[in-house]
Chains A and B, each alone.
Chain A
């Protein structure tokens, strides 16, 4: 461990020295700029963390790189977009959206109650259905409601993907599962092209959160938006909720047990299929939340075929860098990647004489990945998985 600390502190010292150099020797930037870049990095890193959590949870339990996860993230963002941009809805559409969301509510309640016939589950579904139908047909949907509904629907989509594509192959070689995941990814992307749109789509719900925020620091101005509060806070909230779920609830404990040793867990009476479904539900909900925040952050969604790919594989790389299978690892890896992409390019800015690193920033995640695999295959906080199972 001391080596880890030495390397870590050494890197921090290097960064500080470089900032000093850029500010005082090159005089290319001021300190406020780096404060702004740090805030940006935190925002971007939070988004990666939200996506990485889904990868790491699924990997932790069924040892599958869920390639479709990036596309689930895309679906979540687009669902929210259609929810807020087309409201209020005519009754038939309101009914469809409400039914989808009510199904999600029942799914979540079912995980807690254990049966779809349970009165609370049915009651919850009916109340959600009635309430949502009314709300969707009567008022405009704001982004927060759209995000929550999208999380419910996307969560169920995750469970359906597992049920349709992955569960039938559970006994099969792991590679069949991986190929199925890739095929599912292409399926979602191309369905997105057919059903959603083929073009870049503006994502600007009316909200105060995207307003500009400028404040003075060190005699200069930091430019940011109110999202600097929203995105990290929302991420922290979701991570805390997830951690509480995993550590405090029966289902969460069953999840951890299954991750450690699925066979023993099954023998101890854990319904592993249900645990896996829960994992997909939670991972996809987080991805949907990430998708909505992503849209708010950049003000625009890329077209469905490309939106999920790069954020998806980068977030997976982040999960591996942090330590695959570990929830804190995914968050740390995600935030680290955000800093690597945004802050490091800010440290080496483009000037008239130096091309800068901006054009290559999409490659950083993979270069770091290779380095981490070489030096510390278990990731920053991960348990040692270096042995081939």
Chain B
């Protein structure tokens, strides 16, 4: 108690004098090591690039407090607790739904804003009014993938591989399955857990089903093992993945098996339109200068950048770093010109209204995955689709 009073007194004294320059602290909770390390670092680079573009707000420098959750729920909780101790204004991250959900409850209870970068499980933002995201949700992602598989690829039987101990993968696979069945297709669900290396039994299960499309809702850590094993076992139909495949680990570790692999992901400069396209391209140029050695510029990079941008914008709108004021301006954010399209939180549960999802294809020439590239085929807007 005395400590608090004492601190408050000091704060008052200092505030009156020269310390208008005290930095505004923002927590960053990311999967920087462990299974999602590559997408974690893409996201971090996105956040850092955005910070370089906009390093001050209200005349005060922004300081990032970076915490590695090691791709474990416990680690994510520990990061959340650290940020509660540090009294940050808001927390950016985590990337995956499992880690985001693990941190969200603690942050919500402590009254700290959290903006997940790429968590797409609908449950994440439903945890409370302090939880936001910059991504779209999986009900949308699963739906467009199922529609694409059914209508464009003319597939009627889909084998779905899902990582059943992950909230994102589990939820997304369910949405894909529901939509695909609704359209009149048949599905089979094949489960595996993190760190699986031997997929032979799942592949055997899939074989009898004779699928004409394979939907993979997991991450690259396992995907880079699964997809080559599928190819080896004579599965030559189209493979379809989701935003977790937007990770250089897939083509570099998986090699030639990823040639022609299609996936849905966060729309980049190629599929955005109008002013949003220009902003994304400018950001890409800036990013290439800031991180000349980066292996990826992908949806995770953009999501990271925009999570930072919207939080800083909300602080700017609030005119203070007071938590309640920032929360209010963030919840009322309308048509913020982000690098991943315009972002509106007003009237939502924390999921932005208009997002663009894109279909990408990996091109992997030769056996070695080093020379991979990805092309984006077309984009879809969530706002247009929901109308």
Contact B34 A298 (CB under 8 A): no
Alpha-carbon distance A307/B195, docked complex (angstroms) = 9
Residue of A nearest to B187 (CB): A352
Contact B201 A345 (CB under 8 A): yes
Contact B191 A358 (CB under 8 A): yes
Report which of B202, B221, B234, B255 forms a contact with A214, defined as CB distance below 8 A. Answer: B234
B190 within 8 A of partner (CB): yes
Alpha-carbon distance A198/B33, docked complex (angstroms) = 8
B321 within 8 A of partner (CB): no
Alpha-carbon distance A306/B198, docked complex (angstroms) = 13
Q: List CB contacts (< 8 Å) of B204-247 with chain A.
A: 204-205, 207-209, 221-222, 224-225, 228-229, 231-234
Residue of A nearest to B253 (CB): A202
Interface residues on A, range: 35 or more
Alpha-carbon distance A345/B254, docked complex (angstroms) = 26
Contact B367 A349 (CB under 8 A): no
Alpha-carbon distance A198/B75, docked complex (angstroms) = 15
B197 within 8 A of partner (CB): yes
Alpha-carbon distance A303/B72, docked complex (angstroms) = 15
A357 proximity list for chain B (CB < 8 A): 201
B232 proximity list for chain A (CB < 8 A): 210, 212, 223, 225, 299
Residue of A nearest to B193 (CB): A359
Alpha-carbon distance A356/B188, docked complex (angstroms) = 11
B106 within 8 A of partner (CB): no
Contact A200 B224 (CB under 8 A): yes
B188 proximity list for chain A (CB < 8 A): 350-352
From residue A222, how far is it (CB to closest CB) to chain B in Å? 9
A298 proximity list for chain B (CB < 8 A): 197-198, 225, 229
Known A33-B207, A44-B198; judge A199-B233 contact (CB<8 A). Answer: no
Report which of A198, A200, A358 forms a contact with B205, defined as CB distance below 8 A. Answer: A358
Contact A299 B225 (CB under 8 A): yes
From residue B372, how far is it (CB to closest CB) to chain A in Å? 13
Alpha-carbon distance A40/B198, docked complex (angstroms) = 11
A356 proximity list for chain B (CB < 8 A): 205
Alpha-carbon distance A243/B205, docked complex (angstroms) = 38
Known A199-B34, A302-B195; judge A29-B225 contact (CB<8 A). Answer: no
Q: Point out which of B198, B209, B231 has the most chain A C-beta atoms below 10 A from its C-beta.
A: B198
A37-60 vs B, CB cutoff 8 Å, 1 = contact: the mask equals 100100010000000000000000
Residue of B nearest to A295 (CB): B197
Contact B204 A349 (CB under 8 A): yes
Alpha-carbon distance A86/B368, docked complex (angstroms) = 14
Q: List CB contacts (< 8 Å) of A19-42 with chain B.
A: 28-29, 33, 37, 40
Q: Point out which of A40, A200, A342, A345 has the most chain B C-beta atoms below 10 A from its C-beta.
A: A200
Contact B225 A359 (CB under 8 A): no
Residue of A nearest to B254 (CB): A202
Q: Point out which of B204, B205, B222 has the most chain A C-beta atoms below 10 A from its C-beta.
A: B204
Known A198-B33, A200-B35, A351-B208; judge A361-B201 contact (CB<8 A). Answer: yes
Q: Point out which of B33, B207, B222, B224 has the most chain A C-beta atoms below 10 A from its C-beta.
A: B207
Alpha-carbon distance A299/B226, docked complex (angstroms) = 9
A204 proximity list for chain B (CB < 8 A): 228, 255, 367
Report which of A44, A300, A351 forms a contact with B225, defined as CB distance below 8 A. Answer: A300
Contact A28 B208 (CB under 8 A): yes
B376 within 8 A of partner (CB): no
Alpha-carbon distance A211/B385, docked complex (angstroms) = 44
A343-379 vs B, CB cutoff 8 Å, 1 = contact: the mask equals 0011001111000111101000000000000000000
Report which of A29, A306, A345 forms a contact with B195, defined as CB distance below 8 A. Answer: A306
Contact B255 A300 (CB under 8 A): no
A345 proximity list for chain B (CB < 8 A): 201, 204-205
B195 proximity list for chain A (CB < 8 A): 200, 302-303, 306
Report which of B197, B202, B252, B253 forms a contact with A302, defined as CB distance below 8 A. Answer: B197
Contact B224 A202 (CB under 8 A): yes
Contact A44 B200 (CB under 8 A): yes
B222 proximity list for chain A (CB < 8 A): 200
A306 proximity list for chain B (CB < 8 A): 195
Contact B190 A350 (CB under 8 A): yes
A303 proximity list for chain B (CB < 8 A): 195
B37 proximity list for chain A (CB < 8 A): 198-199
A206 within 8 A of partner (CB): yes
Contact A359 B191 (CB under 8 A): yes
Report which of B34, B224, B231, B233 forms a contact with A300, defined as CB distance below 8 A. Answer: B224
From residue A230, how far is it (CB to closest CB) to chain B in Å? 14
Residue of B nearest to A37 (CB): B204
B186 within 8 A of partner (CB): yes
Known A299-B225, A351-B208, A359-B191; judge A202-B255 contact (CB<8 A). Answer: yes
Report which of B186, B190, B221 forms a contact with A199, defined as CB distance below 8 A. Answer: B221
Contact A350 B234 (CB under 8 A): no
From residue A365, how far is it (CB to closest CB) to chain B in Å? 13
Contact B201 A300 (CB under 8 A): no
A137 within 8 A of partner (CB): no
Q: Point out which of A358, A359, A361 has the most chain B C-beta atoms below 10 A from its C-beta.
A: A358
Contact B198 A221 (CB under 8 A): no
From residue B256, how far is it (CB to closest CB) to chain A in Å? 10
B233 proximity list for chain A (CB < 8 A): 223
Known A298-B225, A299-B229, A351-B208; judge A358-B34 contact (CB<8 A). Answer: no
B205 proximity list for chain A (CB < 8 A): 345, 349-350, 356, 358
Q: List CB contacts (< 8 Å) of A199-240 with chain B.
A: 199-202, 204, 206, 210, 212, 214, 221, 223, 225
From residue B188, how far is it (CB to closest CB) to chain A in Å? 6
From residue A223, how far is it (CB to closest CB) to chain B in Å? 4
B231 proximity list for chain A (CB < 8 A): 212
A28 proximity list for chain B (CB < 8 A): 208
Alpha-carbon distance A307/B198, docked complex (angstroms) = 11
A71 within 8 A of partner (CB): no
Q: List 28 A-B contacts (CB under 8 A).
A: A28-B208, A40-B204, A44-B198, A44-B200, A198-B33, A198-B37, A199-B35, A199-B37, A200-B253, A204-B228, A204-B367, A210-B232, A212-B234, A223-B232, A223-B233, A298-B197, A299-B225, A302-B197, A306-B195, A349-B205, A350-B205, A351-B209, A356-B205, A358-B190, A358-B201, A359-B164, A359-B191, A361-B201
The 10 A-B pairs with the shortest beta carbon distances in the complex, nearest first, are A223-B234, A350-B205, A300-B225, A202-B253, A358-B201, A345-B201, A298-B197, A223-B233, A346-B204, A29-B208
Given contacts A356-B205, A358-B201, 16 further A-B contacts (CB under 8 A): A40-B200, A204-B367, A212-B231, A223-B232, A223-B233, A298-B229, A299-B228, A301-B197, A306-B195, A307-B197, A342-B201, A345-B201, A350-B205, A351-B209, A357-B201, A358-B205
List the interface of chain B (C-beta within 8 A of A).
33-35, 37, 164, 186, 188, 190-191, 195, 197-198, 200-202, 204-205, 207-209, 221-222, 224-225, 228-229, 231-234, 252-255, 367
